Amino acid sequence: MALSAPHPDAFPSVPPIDIDNPATVAAHDWAAFNAVSAMKNHWHRPGWSETTRAVYWLLTISDSAFIAHARRCQSFVRHLQFDEIAPDGFHLTLGRVGVVDMLNDEGQMEGLVATVQAKAPPAFVLTAVPLTGSRGALRYSVAPWTPILELHQVLVTASEACGLPSMAPTARLRPHIGIGYANRPLPAAVARNAVLPLRSLPPATLTIDRADLVEMWREPGAYKWRIIHSVQLQTIDAGI
Tell me the pTM.
Answer: 0.95
Residue among 47, 42, 86, 85 at smallest CA distance from 184: 42
List pLDDT tens digits, range 125-184.
999 999 999 999 999 999 999 999 999 999 999 999 999 999 999 999 999 999 999 999
Least confident window among 6-15, 89-98, 100-109: 100-109
| Contact between residue 12 and residue 173 where contact means Cβ atoms under 8 Å apart | no
List pLDDT tens digits, range 177-186.
999 999 999 9
**Separation between Cα atoms, residue 32 and residue 133, nearest integer Å:** 9
Residue type, 169: P
| Contact between residue 15 and residue 146 where contact means Cβ atoms under 8 Å apart | no
Residue type, 50: E
List pLDDT tens digits, range 97-108.
999 888 867 788
To the nearest 10°, report the CA torsion of 82, 137, 22, 72: 10
Mean pLDDT score of the chain: 94
